[in-house]
Amino acid sequence: MAKVFTGKVAIPGDQIEQYLEALAKAEAAREPFRNHLESLNQDFADYLSDKYTKKTVRKHTNIVDTFVHFICRQTDVESIEEITKGMVNSHFRKWYKRKVWDSATENDLRVAWRKFFQFLAEEKGIVNQKALEALK
């Protein structure tokens, strides 16, 4: 089952080089997944631009972009289907409140994510039923 990484890590000074090497390898391994998610977010922006103003499109895609960062850095998820409702709801929302300074409300997050997961299901055929149920 996919995990969310939380908490602090203490790295001894003499092992910092090994930690940085392992971190670089992990990021390189996640790069294809990150690129795939960013491509889907761009397609999502194109999809929304037919229906909404630029400001609304930017707001939704910025939230999705932040979620991509969260998924790639804070979890071990390797596909969209592995994203759990806890990652979408509680984990991301808590992380977002701590790390992002903006005016987005919890409702803004929920709406952006509902629209994104509906877009994936309807337009791309990528269905994550757990995430869709969590966002109702």
Identify whether 16 is part of a domain: no
Report the predicted TM-score, pTM, of the whole model to 2 decimal places: 0.87
Identify whether 96 is part of a domain: yes
Identify whether 72 is part of a domain: yes
Identify whether 75 is part of a domain: yes
Query: Per this entry, what is the length of the chain?
Result: 136
Task: Give the sign of the dihedral formed by CA 125, CA 106, CA 108, CA 75.
Answer: negative
The total domain count for the chain is 1
Please give the pLDDT value at position 1.
Answer: 64
Indicate the pLDDT class of residue 25, thresholds 50, 70 and 90. very high
Identify whether 106 is part of a domain: yes
Identify whether 17 is part of a domain: no
Name 77's Cβ contacts closer than 8 Å, sequence gap at least 6. Answer: 2, 33, 71, 83, 87
Alpha carbons 40 and 65: distance in angstroms, whole number: 10
Helix (H, G, I), strand (E, B) or coil at 15: helix
- Vertex 124, ends 66 and 49: CA angle to 5°? 60
- Domain boundaries, position 38: 32-134
Indicate the pLDDT class of residue 128, thresholds 50, 70 and 90. confident
CATH code (residue 104): 1.10.150
Identify whether 85 is part of a domain: yes
Q: Tell which wins on pLDDT, 70 or 5.
A: 70
Alpha carbons 68 and 61: distance in angstroms, whole number: 10
117 neighbors 131 (Cβ within 8 angstroms): yes
